[in-house]
Amino acid sequence: MMGALEGRVCAVTGAARGIGRAVALAYAAEGAIVYALDRLEDELPEPTDRLRPLPLDVTKADAVAEVFAEIESEAGGADVLVNNAGIIFFKPIEETTAADWDGLMAVNLRGPFLCTRAVAKGLKAKGKGAIINVSSNAGVRGGDNEAAYCASKFGIEGFSRALAVEFGKHGVAVNTITPGHPVRTAMSEITYGPENRKIWKDPGELAPAFVHLALQSPDGIHDRYIRAWDLAQELGEGRA
């Protein structure tokens, strides 16, 4: 699929590590102009002619507006937005402080809202594009000591279902995606036990699913909750 994203402009949040980094690199390899966004500025990928790293705290409204205005000025705005930035903690609800809750929601829900709002006008005007919101198993079922994280990911699911209705009529595909398999990331380093660590995959193995979703329209995969591992395997079998 080399060159599948030629001519596309892609913005990926949480691009310093893990899945976000793998997706940003895969998009660049497929010919896209990629803006790799993360507040961990020192860990962002090195710049290339197709990949531009930019520091961004997705919880800051002014910073988000400024970065996406820069993308608009330089490249005509994003055609593909991947809302990947996320954080997690495990605490019983009685031990979860208001600051804990607000901090997690700021990254996991406010960030996708701010970034989506920043690209909305441009995507609707273009009449094509894709929004990919990274979800989780915690977006479809509860987990022990995960009240805040589950609430944020259930929120992403509701947010995305509404966006699918709003953007679909403008030619923009909206989907949520979950890894669908244990993946080695900074987050999983603190959340996975020994059994999951035995089978975890490299984030790059999920990247083909993100490439495929970036190519979708409302007539294709749209308003869906996708398991990245399953889709990547299906795409691999199709090329065999």
Determine the Cα–Cα distance for residues 15 and 39; give it in Å rounded to an integer: 9
Phi/psi class of residue 180: alpha, beta or left (left: φ > 0; alpha: ψ in -120 to 50)? left
Tell me if residue 149 is catalytic.
Answer: yes
Contacts of 38 (CB under 8 A, 6+ apart): 13, 14, 15, 16, 17, 20, 44, 53, 55, 56, 85
Distances (CA, A) of 182 to 65, 88, 200, 237: 34, 16, 5, 20
**77 φ, ψ to 5°?**
95, 160
CB atoms within 10 A of CB 158: 11
Catalytic residue among 27, 149, 192, 225: 149
For 176, the token pair is: 């949520």
Which of the residues are catalytic? 149
